[in-house]
Structure 1
Amino acid sequence: MDELIIGVFAFIGGILRYELDQLIPSLDNFPIATFLINVLGSFLLALLTTTWSLNERVSQRLTLGLGTGLIGAFTTFSSFSLEIFKLLGNHHYLLSFVYLTASILSGIIGAWLGIKFGEKIYPQKEDAK
Structure 2
Amino acid sequence: MLDYLVIALCAFIGGSARYWLGVFLPAAGGFPIGTLAVNLIGCFIFSWVVKHIMNDIDISGRLVLGVGVGFCGALTTFSSFALDTMKLVQADQIGLAFLYLVLSFVGGLAMTFLGEAIYHRKAA
TM-score class, shorter: over 0.9
Equivalent residue, structure 1, for 2:60: 59
Retained in 1: the 8 A contact 2:47–2:116? yes
Equivalent residue, structure 2, for 1:24: 25
Q: 3-state DSSP class of the match of 1:7?
A: helix
* Residues 22-55 of structure 1: per-residue CA shift (max 9 Å, x gap): 0114321110111111111101100023211123
The alignment's TM-score, normalised by the length of structure 1, stands at 0.89
**Rg bigger for which structure?**
1
CA distance in 2, matches of 1:118, 1:56: 13
Equivalent residue, structure 1, for 2:71: 70
Structure 2: 5+ residue stretches without partners: none
Letter in 1 for 2:109: I
* Residues 100-124 of structure 1: per-residue CA shift (max 9 Å, x gap): 111100000000000011112334x
CA distance in 1, matches of 2:16, 2:22: 10
- The alpha-carbon deviation at position 56 of structure 1 amounts to 4.8
Higher helix share: 2
Greater shift in the superposed pair: 68-77 or 53-62: 53-62
Consecutive aligned runs of 4 or more in structure 1 exceeding 6 Å deviation: none
Letter in 1 for 2:62: R
Identity of aligned residues (%): 37
The alignment's TM-score, normalised by the length of structure 2, stands at 0.92
Equivalent residue, structure 1, for 2:118: 117
Equivalent residue, structure 2, for 1:42: 43
